[in-house]
Amino acid sequence: MKLKDTLALAFRTVKSNKLRTGITVSIIAFGIMALVGINTAIDAMKQKFMESFSAMGANGFTIHYREWQMGFDHSNVKAEKKGQRKAKKSNSGKPITKNQAETFRERFQYPARICITLFGSRDAVVSLGDKKTNPTVSVYGGDPNWAELNGYNIVAGRNLNELDVQSGRNVCVVGSEVAERFFGHDPFRPVEKVIRVNGLPFRVVGVLDSKGSTLGMSWDNMILTSYNNVRRFFNSNPNASFSVLVKVADVRTIDGAIDQAEGIMRPIRQLEVTEDNNFYIDKSDSGVAMLMRNLSFITLSAVLIGVITLVGAAVGLMNIMLVSVTERTKEIGLIKAIGGRQRNVRQQFLFESVLISLIGAAFGVVLGVIVGNSFSLILHTGFVVPWAWLLGGILLCSIVGLLAGLYPSLKASRLNPIEALRYE
């Protein structure tokens, strides 16, 4: 009996038991769909996080006064580990003032782009005539470098300039979502128009390109004005803290820039040599790195779900193959009586088991990619195909099929042909 004949017989047998095969295929497909679908969605999330949170790339860092929940790789943590300084509790929680941020910008002579920023509001209302937005518009305060260091491009009009910042005049750059709401899809129409932000008149000098959204938060539903305007109109909190964004030209020089930034910021923050930092320095990609680490737990959960499901499918498949051996005892006896070898019988049942597993893997892979990319449509990312997980899922199903069919195939191949032909 040739190999192709054994394969053809295995295929016909699987095809003839449609209901039983279909149930087993469904269980296997569900496990692979969970595995591939969740990891496809995770890949889409990673892609979106990289686009949204790494605007400055690996050659940027931020100086701020309070530790981010998802941040790590802080310079003060490094110093503490080395035992150079001791933390002083009275230092923590002190905001970075406007004067401190501007002094840092003046003293930092490293070849880099620097931006001073102050967050204003997440619930501003923008209006023009009878039209107005919901109270969901974000207001950011910055300087001429803010747009570039946050990954935006100016598509119409101009950027903020130093005169806008120093004079505190009411000018702003609007996000694409705000511009389209009041002026349609022509990005040049809003330029030099006057809109109201929380009732205050602001002249639009520029329009930003679209950046999309992340986890439901739009990066385009926003207003950019000078940090002086934000402090005056949108953030009257006396404890409001400024942040400083720094972007160096070459990623290889970023560690030197961070060291120099720390050395300049410490005396500005009036720290003694023995005192720990009361500010934090985070690389621009550190937040993404932490999010990626957190997503790895979701990946592990997906793997566990898939493996548990496939273990259940393997048990079910083995049970079906054992029932098949019992039902086809006479057929096995006939094959052996006409010269079939144990190897042929063993191969037939193994092929049937693996074939059922691979059919389930094929359906699971297709469904998983579809389910995962439905999530990528929500995030507005490109089509994602996790090739490693696809190949891993198919390989896993092959192993499941082999293990599930091993014992039934051995049992079938060892049947006595005479007793098998007499079996009722």
> So what's the pLDDT on residue 233?
93
Tell me the two tokens of residue 136: 């969901």
Instruction: Mention every residue, 6+ apart, whose C-beta is less than 8 A from residue 61.
Output: 245, 246, 254, 257, 258, 261, 281, 282, 283, 284
Residues 134 and 123: their CA atoms lie apart, in Å, by: 8
pTM of whole model > 0.75? no
> So what's the pLDDT on residue 81?
38
> So what's the pLDDT on residue 80?
39
Instruction: Mention every residue, 6+ apart, whose C-beta is less than 8 A from residue 12.
Output: none
| Inter-residue contact 243 to 117 (CB < 8 Å) | yes
> So what's the pLDDT on residue 411?
84
Along the 424 residues of the chain, how does pLDDT read in single tens digits? 566 766 776 777 777 778 878 888 888 888 888 888 888 888 877 776 666 555 556 688 999 987 654 433 444 434 333 445 554 555 567 899 999 999 999 999 999 999 999 999 999 999 999 999 999 999 999 999 999 998 899 999 999 999 999 998 999 999 999 999 999 999 999 999 999 999 999 999 999 999 877 656 788 999 999 999 999 999 878 788 999 999 998 878 888 999 999 999 999 998 888 888 889 998 876 656 666 666 777 778 777 877 787 788 788 888 888 888 887 788 778 777 777 778 878 888 888 888 888 998 899 889 988 988 887 777 667 788 888 888 888 888 888 888 888 888 888 888 777 776 766 5
> So what's the pLDDT on residue 55?
56
Which has the closest alpha carbon to 194: 125, 129, 141, 136?
Answer: 129
Three-class SS state of 208: strand
| Inter-residue contact 60 to 150 (CB < 8 Å) | no
> So what's the pLDDT on residue 153?
93
Regarding beta strands 126-128 and 131-132, do their DSSP bridges make them parallel or antiparallel, or are they unpaired?
A: antiparallel
DSSP class of 111: S
> So what's the pLDDT on residue 68?
55
